[in-house]
Structure 1
Amino acid sequence: MSVPEEIIRIAAKGDGVTASGRHIAGAVPGDVLRADGTIQHGPHHATPPCRHFARCGGCQLQHADEEALRRFVTDRVVHAAASQDIAPGEVLPTHLSPSQSRRRATLHGLKTAAGVVLGYREAGSHRIVDIGECPVLRPELFSLVLPLRKALAEAAGKRPVDVALTLADQGVDVAISGLELDGLGPTEAMLDFARDHQLARLSLDQGYGAEPMWEPEPVTVTLSGVPVPLPVGAFLQATVDGERTLVADAVAFANGAGSIADLFSGLGTFAFAFSPDTNVLAVEAAQDAHLASKAVANRHGSSIAALHRDLFRAPLQPDELTRFDAVLLDPPRAGAREQIREIAASPVERVIYVSCNPSSWARDARTLVDAGFRLEKLRPVGQFRWSTHVELTSLFVR
């Protein structure tokens, strides 16, 4: 007969794990797995704040209290470094975004005989959970869920639709894909929806790319005090507080650098945060984001130069990196294997690496360490509250 076992940690996908290595769904550290397979809740087991939890695939860890959640985010990052035999010089305090702080999200909708369902997909399924609450979203975004259901009930066909919500400076930016408006009536109904709810912008992708159909004034997002045009679908950090933490670390880690290469620069999240006395080369592959940041940099006469370049196919070479005191990179989830190899072969002595995937970061970190870098600082960041998605900032020097 099996004996009771205590849950000692949370695995990468959210399961509780015992000392013997058993994975138990719905368990957190301090819980006890009884001999009969049931779970005895411990001091870190919390009551989920959302009634959709366990069905909705948007959150995996609402049953973990603040301490357990913080420990999970911290362990994911520290263990990723340890998996490559890398010891950080200093692990900075973990940052967790609070509830109701997400300023962007994508919901899925489908018209059924009973009406339109709108929400997130169930874990491991295409079924949509029709949400009646969401404790992670900013209230400005969630307040549109019910009106969107009504608007889609009148305009949507049988095809599923995706609804991307983003909080911009002018209000909520709504981008809908998969919705085909047939005739003047449905088109006018969607324009009425945009006007009645004072949207910053309403865009539709009817199979030929996103096209704004309502935008009373150019939509912007303010980055480090600088309003930057926000292209439809452009990448934006999930929360304002998370962005501030990432940016503050980047600025602190770059202290004293007179020239910085900002790679995978996006709209300029980091570039616009540096001192005007710092020369920054902002390199981005997405043309709309590149043009948005370039236009602002040119208009302000700043020390930021923007370069349109695909760093996966054409990474900056060692001879191009020689003129920079520091390199900052914030790549997609796949990491930056090709660019990291060139950085490792260059004379650069300081690398600031912001990552949304501890696994690919750890692989790239190993390449830097093998080239003589040491991991001086590391901060775990949990912008996606109650999710297993974890981010980090790091500083490498040699």
Structure 2
Amino acid sequence: MKLTIERLGHLGDGVAQGPNGPIFVSAVLPGEVVDGELSGDRLTQVRIVTPTATRVKPPCAHAKSCGGCLMQHANDSFVADWKIGIVRGALEGQGLEAEIRGIVTSPPRSRRRATFAARRTKSGALIGFHARGSDVIIPIPDCQLLHSDLMAAIPGIEALVKIGGSRTQELSFTVTRSDAGADVVADGGKPLDGPLRMELARVVETFGFARLKWDDEVVALRANPVQQIGSAKVVPPPGAFLQATEHGQKSLVALVKEALGPQKKIVDLFAGCGTFALPLAEGAELHAVEGDAEMMAALDKAARQTQGLKRVSVETRDLFRRPLEADEFKHVTGVVIDPPRAGAEAQIVPLAGSGVPVIAMVSCNPATFARDAKSLIGAGYRLEWVQVVDQFRWSSHVELVGCFRLAHM
């Protein structure tokens, strides 16, 4: 069946019109003519008959087999326009318009955090990413996405799999780059006992890992896995959320600072380990709120150990079940809010009625951002600008920062 690709869906699949409805095609671009075999609503065994000028040779040798990157067949300009279009479409879906200032994209080989799939084999260990839509593990020795320090951790992961894995169960290893070495969280391995703990600790020492958590237990801490956030040094709990790239983190912080401008008292909602709270505290009193007690403890410790910060207070609180009420924003001059993909609908309602002069909203989901933005605008805020940030290069993932200001100010 020969088809012409009309557009891309928000997950990166090409969409063509078939005789009975939409047909989805992987690794294609709008305007391309393709041929293949129809299987349900998908085209398989795809052959590009007429490529577009935006098609490029994927920079990674694993692009066709690995499911980690979906858009390496498109040039950077196309991907940038596509991601900006996703944000614009989400806003239009809520009847909103705003200045979209463009996109900031992290460079190749800059991802500082990844989750590897692994399995023990008869001859050793298999480590990599899953093929798209499959449980097949694809080795990635020439990955163009990950920081070289993550790639350098793979031999150590292999050693862990050989002593702590089984051939019947897959393991996952979340690895985060830190100043002191790889910070590793393993799930799905053999149950811990005395000898296994000793063997795992030897691997940590041999390969220079900073920390290893094996299922629910930290079995080795060679050095604190420090993360630099602003002028502070933070030791996050194992597996804690961090921005995907250092470049992306710095870009987001700079945009939040620009949106807020000079402030006296800032509240940081969904503060995590202090991505925004700690840099903002260099110039303003800061109250950080987050539902995870361990992350709040890490932020609090880093703030107390960093000279030159204004007063930082922390509060462990589930903002989905118990959002800050409008009167709790009294004397607050600015808010930064960085919710998970589900957005912050429960928190947005009281925030919209708080009268806080300026709000910087960070989002990893344009759809929930647009929904929450509509609530703020309905309460008298104006959305002054949106900046798209692409930390997840060659993926369908989109992040952004939006600047909201009370309309009468």
Change (3 A) 1:46 1:255: same
Aligned to 2:222: 216
Match of 1:93 in 2: 102
Q: Residues 115 and 397 of structure 1: is their aligned pair in 2 closer, same or farther, counting only changes over 3 Å? A: same
**Amino acid of the structure 2 residue aligned with 1:143:** A
Note if contact 1:59-1:386 (Cα within 8 Å) is conserved in structure 2: yes
Alignment partner of 1:197 out of 193, 197, 207: 207
Deviation by residue 1:202-238 (Cα, 9 ceiling, x = unmatched): 2211xxx2x2222123222110121012210111000
2:356 maps to 1:348: yes
Residue equivalent to 1:188: 198
Q: Which residue of 2 aligns with 1:151?
A: 160
Q: Which moved more, 1:166-175 or 1:186-195?
A: 186-195
- For residue 317 of structure 1, what is the aligned residue in structure 2? 325
Q: Is 2:244 the counterpart of 1:238?
A: yes
Question: Alignment partner for residue 335 of structure 2, among 323, 327, 333?
Answer: 327
Q: How many Å apart are 1:197 and its aligned residue?
A: 1.3
1:131 to 133, 140, 153: 140
Shift of 1:31: 3.0
Bigger mean CA offset, 15-24 vs 230-239 = 15-24
Instruction: State the Cα deviation string for residues 274-322 of structure 1 (Å, max 9, x = none).
Output: 2534111111110110011112223346321111111111100011113
Is the counterpart of residue 364 in structure 1 residue 365 in structure 2? no
Answer whether contact 1:312 1:339 (CA < 8 A) is retained: yes
Tell me how far apart the structure 1 counterparts of residues 263 and 286 of structure 2 sit (CA, whole Å): 10
Partner of 1:16: 14
3-state SS in 1 of match to 2:385: strand
Structure 2 Cα separation of the partners of residues 223 and 153 of structure 1: 35
Report if aligned partners of 1:355, 1:361 keep a CA contact under 8 Å in 2.
yes
Aligned residue pairs, count: 391
| CA–CA distance in structure 1, aligned partners of residues 106 and 397 of structure 2 | 12
Is it true that 1:171 corresponds to 2:177 in the alignment? no
Mapped contact 2:361–2:403 kept (Cα < 8 A): yes
Q: Distance in 2 between matches of 1:147 and 1:274?
A: 37
Distance in 2 (CA, whole Å) between partners of 1:22 and 1:374 is: 39
Task: Determine whether 1:28 maps to 2:36.
Answer: no
Distance in 2 (CA, whole Å) between partners of 1:305 and 1:188 is 39
Matched residue, 1:76: 86
Identical columns (%): 33
Stretch moving more, 287-296 or 12-21: 12-21
Query: So what's the TM-score if we normalise by structure 1?
Result: 0.91
Question: 3-state SS of the aligned residue for 1:273?
Answer: helix
Answer yes or no: is 1:262 the counterpart of 2:272: no
Give the secondary structure class of the aligned counterpart of 1:297.
Answer: helix
How far apart are 1:186 and its partner, in Å? Answer: 3.9
What CA deviation, in whole Å up to 9, does each residue of 1:74-104 have, x standing for no partner? 111121111111111x222201111100000
Conservation of the 8 A alpha-carbon contact between 2:173 and 2:187: yes
Tell me the TM-score normalised to structure 2 length: 0.89
- In the superposition, relative to structure 1, how do residues 35 and 103 fare at CA in structure 2: closer, same or farther (>3 Å)? closer
Q: Which amino acid aligns with 2:188?
A: G
Alignment of 1:262-301 (within 5 A): 262-274=268-280, 276-300=282-306
Q: Does structure 2 conserve the Cα–Cα contact (< 8 Å) formed by 1:261 and 1:324?
A: yes
1:47 to 38, 57, 75: 57
**Does the 8 A contact of 1:31 with 1:45 survive in 2?**
no
Q: Distance in 2 between matches of 1:235 and 1:17?
A: 33
CA 1:8/1:226 → structure 2, altered by over 3 Å: closer, same or farther?
farther
Partner of residue 72, structure 2: 62
Structure 2 unaligned spans of 5+ = 38-45
Matches within 5 A, 1:245-256: 245-256=251-262
Per the TM alignment, residue 42 of structure 1 is displaced from its structure 2 partner at its CA by 1.5
Among candidates 334, 343, 346, match of residue 338 of structure 1: 346
Q: Which runs of 5 or more structure 1 residues have no equivalent in the other structure?
A: none
Residue-by-residue CA offset, 1:106-146 (whole Å, 9 max, x unaligned): 11112234542211222223332233332111011112223
> What is the CA deviation profile of residues 44-97 of structure 1, one whole-angstrom value per residue up to 9, with x for unaligned ones?
111122232233221111111111111122111121111111111x22220111
Counterpart secondary structure, 2:56: coil
How far apart are the structure 2 equivalents of 1:371 and 1:293? 32
* Post-superposition CA distance 1:311-359 (Å, at most 9, x none): 1111000111132112110011111010001111222232110001111
Matched residue of 2:84: which SS? helix
* Range 11-20 or range 247-256, more displaced: 11-20
- Distance in 2, matches of 1:137 and 1:213, equals 26
Aligned counterpart, 2:40: none
Q: Which letter maps to 1:121?
A: H
Distance 1:307 1:186, change over 3 A: closer
Alpha-carbon spacing, 1:141–1:277, altered in 2? closer, same or farther (3 Å): closer
> Would the alpha carbon gap of residues 279 and 127 (structure 1) be closer, same or farther in structure 2, given more than 3 Å must change?
same
Distance 1:51 1:338 in 2: 45
Distance of 1:179 and 1:189 partners within structure 2:
13
1: CA distance between counterparts of 2:196 and 2:316? 39
Question: Which residue identity does 1:304 align to in structure 2?
Answer: V
**Residues 30 and 43 in structure 1, CA contact (< 8 A), matched pair in contact too:** no
Stretches of 4+ moved more than 6 A in 1? Answer: 34-37
Q: Partners of 1:66 and 1:239 in 2: how far apart?
A: 18
CA distance in 1, matches of 2:91, 2:239: 32
